[in-house]
Amino acid sequence: VVVRSASIVGPGEPALAKQKHHHRKAFECISRALKLDEEDRGRKEQAIELYKRGIEELEKGIAIEIIGQGDVFDRAKHLKDKMRANLAMAKDRLEVLVTGRNLAARKK
């Protein structure tokens, strides 16, 4: 019988805990930004602020070095890649909103 022990990661892995923390905060901010942004007449100003906060959290999360072997580390590296992709996309979206806002302001 082969017992595959799950990789147990305790408090000795602060990097992973920190990564998860920033992932969570980024997810919360960007989810809320998206919710506003997805509405046609959504509160774009608020969405811009939430995107900015989410982007900061993603940057903090990506900055964390994930060094280690095993399932949990593989998963953490995978998560880091996803966060990096979302950082680029969120930045693009933020730029679109900011540009749109500036154009609207100039027309007034």
Partner 1 sequence: ATSTLNAPQGEVDSLMHEVADEAGLELNMDMPQSSTSIASSQSTKEQDELSARLARLRQA
d(CA 73, CA 33): 29
Q: Of 63, 78, 95, 104, which lies in the binding site for partner 1, with binding defined by CB under 8 A? A: 78
d(CA 37, CA 58): 19
- If binding is defined by CB under 8 A, does position 35 make contact with partner 1? yes
Do 32 and 50 meet the contact criterion of CB atoms below 8 Å apart?
Answer: yes
Write each residue from 5 to 34 as x if it is in contact with partner 1 (CB under 8 A), else as -, in one continuous string: ----x---x--xx-xxx-xxx-xx-xxx-x
Nearest approach in angstroms of CB 99 to partner 1 is: 14
Helix runs in the chain, H state only: 14-37, 44-63, 71-107
Do 7 and 70 meet the contact criterion of CB atoms below 8 Å apart?
Answer: yes
* Residues found near partner 1 in the complex (CB under 8 A): 9, 13, 16-17, 19-21, 23-25, 27-28, 30-32, 34-35, 37-38, 72, 75-76, 78-79, 82-83, 85-86, 89-90, 92-93
